[in-house]
Amino acid sequence: MTTLDAAKAWRDQDPDPVTRAELEAIIADAEAGDATAVAALHDRFDSRLAFGTAGLRGELGAGSNRMNRVLVTQAAAGLARFLLGRESHPSIVIGYDGRVNSDVFASDTAEIMAGAGVRAILLPRMLPTPVLAFAVRHLGVSAGVMVTASHNPPRDNGYKVYLGGRDHGSQIVAPVDAEIHEAIIGVASTTSIDQLPRSNEFEVAGEDVVEAYVAATAALAPHGDGAAPRVPVPFVYTAMHGVGWEVAQRVFRAAGFAEPTVVAEQIEPDGAFPTVAFPNPEEPGAMDLSYVTATSAGAGLIIANDPDADRLAIAIPDAEAPEGWRRLTGNEVGALLGWRAAERITEEGRMAKLAASLVSSPALSEVAKAYGLSYSDTLTGFKWVSRVGGLAYGFEEALGYLVDPEKVRDKDGISAAVDLLALVGELAAEGRTLADHQRAFDERFGAFASAQVSLRVTDLTRIPAIMASLRDAPPASINGVRVSQVDDFIRGFGVFPPSDILRFWMDGGARVIVRPSGTEPKVKVYIDASSTQGDVDERRSAAQAEVAALEEGMRALII
């Protein structure tokens, strides 16, 4: 089948008038000999969004290499086939956020699942990803689907899959992702989607699911007899145009926190994300409105969720920062919440494990060592962190934190906010701030510094070329710092399966990790260093200087 034939076949089964008209126009131009249109067809149909360990994620539009109703329907039918092959009476819960077409993709999935004989439960409205992850375990279903692209650019959407049962509500990992992909291809290669059975006989979950999540999450904040005293700290909250606010507000109230001041321009769901170029709190400028709001309100803290509320960003007042506010890195928040978790575990007298993705700061491993707790590094992604046996707390540097694995087996930006707000309130009762607590951390465990270099590409061939260059001719030094060891994960490394990751150990203990992004066209570099020499300021200066030198060296190597 030629690319043009594939495009016509896709058009003929597309139930969406918008993408159908989009594709019809491109086909007409291509048949008229327009080179741009021909190239557009090849871009859309020469490849297909693969169903990987992040599920599906890509730009909205017509074609097999885009997110659209045809692709999602094929994915739902393939996932249904996979589930029916695993058990005789499978069930699934489906959630969606506020991105363009998320509700449509969720409804298509529910109808296809019900038509295939899978018990399907649709969440009652747009809700955060953590509510869906919670619902998989709470409802005891076989699987869950969340329609979201998390913090990706506005024109993206995605399809994230969780498994219940022996997977305990975690995201899919290999080899299940490949098995689902094969089932999807089996549907796509043999059946037009208008031939797939559909049914409206799916369930819509009641409000009790959301209420159960709210109650379980609010319970993370200690209160009542024996709880540490808390002083309310005025804070600002932004949903980053996502779906976090409704549920977060209910959780904050139930946990006894003060009502926050909200960033009004970003509080309601809006799939166009009008105030940010990228709806990711890590991106430059994304939290500027939060800083303005917090300064005006006289707040002492900023809480930001990403659009599906599975990530958490924190900012604190800092007179030396350009906006008067400093956003803590994911590593900084992860270390502080990890310290809190270690204290909690020790007080309860139980054995448990801490874990972080291997690109995250080694600070958490030092916390575990100090408290006599076991610790694990995992591959990048919460699908790996959440599967660590005996896990009590886990995090990844990309603003992801898991503070209550018994409730949700995924990162959860709302429960992490509860734990952080409780900590800040306890510190305030002692006359201390989060910045003071960071200094105490650095004094006890050492000062840790980190940085990232992120290279976004338009030519996807550059990513494997960069990795091959570093692999075939690894640097002997980086900006004058000698490389003492190179760990190549391409054929597996220790307990890790084969992965496209390179780790460089430097003289003095610093490290540099390079890998392709799993969700965006990027090469990512993670740099970490630490110091235990001198007072806190001297430790911080030494660690930051080493990171800065390595960052400069890596930019010269890959950009």
Residue ranges per structural domain of the chain: 47-205, 213-327, 330-444, 446-558
Tokens of 220: 């993370």
Our CA angle for 56, 278, 520, nearest 5°, is 35
Q: At what angle do helices 413-429 and 330-348 cross, to 10 degrees?
A: 70
Phi, psi at 147, each rounded to 5°: -90, 105
Q: What is the 3-state secondary structure (H, E, C) of 328-366?
A: CCHHHHHHHHHHHHHHHHHHHCCCCEEEEECCCCCHHHH
- What pLDDT score was predicted for residue 458? 87
Contacts of 211-214 with CB under 8 Å at 24 or more apart are 212/134, 212/138, 213/130, 213/131, 213/134, 213/135, 213/138, 213/247, 213/407, 214/247, 214/250, 214/251, 214/254
| Calpha distance 440→434 (Å, rounded) | 10
Q: In Å, how far are 103, 273, 524, 552, 553 from 456, measured between CA atoms?
A: 30, 21, 9, 17, 18
DSSP structure string for 379-403: -SSHHHHTT-TTEEEEEETTTEEES
CATH number 3.30.420.40 given to 446-558: no
**Domain made up of 47-205: CATH architecture:** 3-Layer(aba) Sandwich (3.40)
Examine the residue annotation and report whether 374 is marked as an active-site residue of this protein.
no
Any idea how long the chain is? 559
Candidate list 64, 91, 102, 150, residue with the active-site label: 150
- What pLDDT score was predicted for residue 495? 87
The pLDDT confidence band at residue 134, using thresholds 50, 70 and 90, is: very high
Please indicate whether the domains covering 330-444 and 446-558 agree at the CATH topology level: no
The pLDDT confidence band at residue 350, using thresholds 50, 70 and 90, is: confident
pLDDT, averaged across the chain: 95
68-98 pLDDT, tens digit each: 999 999 999 999 999 999 999 999 999 999 9
The pLDDT confidence band at residue 52, using thresholds 50, 70 and 90, is: confident
Phi, psi at 66, each rounded to 5°: -135, 165
Reply yes or no on whether the pLDDT at 270 is more than 90: yes
CATH number 3.40.120.10 given to 213-327: yes
Percent of the chain with pLDDT over 90: 92
- What pLDDT score was predicted for residue 240? 98
Reply yes or no on whether the pLDDT at 360 is more than 80: yes
Specify the CATH number of the domain 330-444: 3.40.120.10
175-206 pLDDT, tens digit each: 999 999 999 999 999 999 999 999 999 999 99
The pLDDT confidence band at residue 50, using thresholds 50, 70 and 90, is: confident
434-459 pLDDT, tens digit each: 999 999 999 999 999 999 999 988 88
- Of 316, 383, 394, 326, nearest to 354 by C-alpha is 394
- What pLDDT score was predicted for residue 53? 67
| Calpha distance 365→149 (Å, rounded) | 31
Mean pLDDT of 329-339: 98
